[in-house]
Amino acid sequence: MSAHDIRSAVRPDSDQPLTDIADYVVDYQIDSKEAYDTARYMLLDSLGTAMLAMKFPECVKHLGPLVPGATLPGGARVPGTSHELDPVQAAFAIGTQIRWLDFNDTWLAAEWGHPSDNLGSILAVGDYLSRKAEREGGQSLTVRDVLGYAIKAHEIQGCYALLNSFNRVGQDHVILVRLASTAVATAMLGGNKEQITTAVSHSWIDNGALRTYRHAPNTGPRKSWAAGDACRRAVTHAINAVYRGVVGYPSALSAKTWGFYDVAFNGKPFEFERPFGSYVMENVLFKISYPAEFHAQTAVECAMQLHGEVAAKLDQIEKIVIETQEAGSRIIDKTGPLANYADRDHCIQYMVAVPLIFGRLGASDYNDDVAADPRIDALRDKMVVSENPQFTRDYFDPAKRYIGNSLQVFFTDGSSTQKVSIDYPIGHRKRRAEGIPVLLTKFEAAMRGHLPAHRVKAVMDAVKDPARFDAMPLQDFLGLFTL
């Protein structure tokens, strides 16, 4: 019988991408100091972003048990709250907190995404296991353990994103959050290679969420909890593989007609630029200054540079020209009314107009009261957005990974500002020395905005010495964020 004979019940070997992930998660030893150092900052930045999200009731309402009373005393905690939940629901809550404001780290290539979304699964499973071990006299996970799992989750999500574009087939990037989180969560629960392969096969069989909620005319707040949903599903797959012994599906990707490739990826197998290592964590992009979709980060920086020259002459503006990368042009170039917060933080025109007018762009600037200022839409109507092919080439160049934008304002009297161009934002690897102090300031300010002063001090004391921080039991660290 042909290997493609759909009548054959012969169980095939596992698809290579499934076993490659299992081999990497179990066998790979991370020896990159830069990866661990970056992961440490990533953890703090993500928790800071989660604390900032606590100011938004639309986020907070998602963070408790799925139904009232479905709590788990001694279970996984949700930072900045008093909730104790089962690890599946806690993964959803933490993932939702971290992603809500579009202010956590980013990875951009053929696919886009936010690798620190995986902390929803990692912290939930880690806290659950560590508190259980503490009660039973076992060995708790340390912060260092969590950083290692995060490096591997970043690597899986990011390496898949380098050459495989899920957005071009209409699927949301959180499919890779579910994939990476499924793999590392299964390992955290004690799963072996076979169990990791099984869990990952289930992740692919889930197929993917549509990107409908990220694009006009349907942009909405589901995009802020979609990663949490992926984390929740990932922990379910991990638990099923390790605790329930569910059966795996070895050709979940390659099965003729019924596999992921044929159903969802135009029949094409995945392509890979590089083997798994620690490349993604080392090169991850931090959103440090502005809670804005990352393709617009440098556009916001350009607008901030021009604010002083433009703010007093808003009524004299004839045209505003924005040049961006192909991805930015495709994702965040929007005209017409913007219905909600989620619409606005994915509109490059809005994200440029606010800093031109006010000299700032914060999370609250996407709220209805700020959006009601008629000057914002007046400026949006004067904006022309186009792709700059050089920005696109530099975006895909593995030696650069730039996210360039340029901005120039033209006035009715025939004069204009200079054309301001920025290739990469402050959160880029090439600006780490400049960016990390700003990241730490962002983190501490976020703590002070939500936690009591004595807790903020305890957190800042805990993180100031990297070696001591790495050795800290995870449940002790997360306990500092419990209200």
Q: 238-265, pLDDT tens digit by residue?
A: 999 999 999 999 999 999 999 999 999 9
Cβ-based neighbours of 37, under 8 Å, separated by 6 or more: 466
- The tally of CA atoms less than 13 A away on the side-chain side of residue 297 is 26
pLDDT at residue 68 in the model: 93
**Cis amide leading into 217 (omega within 30):** yes
Angstrom distances, CA of residue 233 to CA of 95, 129, 206, 246, 258: 11, 18, 9, 15, 21
SS3 408: strand
Where the chain has pLDDT below 50, the residues are 1-2
473-121-461 Cα angle (round to 5):
35
CA distance 52 to 59: 10
- DSSP summary character for residue 75: S
Residue type, 141: L
Quick one: pLDDT at residue 1? Answer: 34
The distance in angstroms from the start CA to the end CA of the chain is 62
Classify strands 405-411 and 420-422 as parallel, antiparallel or unpaired.
Answer: antiparallel
* Cβ(342)–Cβ(224) below 8 Å: yes
Q: What is the pLDDT of residue 5?
A: 67
- The residue with tokens 């920086």 is 301
pLDDT of residue 242: 98
300 touches 406 (CB < 8 A)? no
Which residues lie below 8 Å from residue 354, measured CB to CB, with a gap of 6+?
303, 360, 361, 365, 370, 376
pLDDT for 202: 98
DSSP SS3 for 107: strand
CB 64 within 8 A of CB 84: no
Q: What is the pLDDT of residue 2?
A: 39
pLDDT, residue 142, reads 98
The rounded distance, in Å, linking the Cα atoms of 64 and 418 is 50
Nearest Cα neighbor of 92 from 184, 239, 229 is: 229
Within 10 angstroms of residue 180's Cβ, the number of other Cβ atoms is: 34
- 346-153-176-301 Cα dihedral, nearest 10 degrees: 20
CA-based nearest residue to 180, from 226, 222, 230, 126? 230
For residues 244 and 111, give the distance between their C-alpha atoms in angstroms, rounded to a whole number. 33
What gap in Å lies between CA 395 and CA 321, rounded to an integer? Answer: 20
**What pLDDT was estimated at residue 10?**
87
User: What does the pLDDT read at residue 4?
Assistant: 57
Q: Which structure tokens are listed for 110? A: 């053929």
Reduced DSSP (H G I as helix, E B as strand, rest coil) percent helix, strand, coil of the chain, to 5: 55, 10, 35
The secondary structure element, H or E, covering residue 387 is: strand 383-387
Residues 6+ apart with CB under 8 A from 101: 49, 52, 53, 56, 224, 291, 363
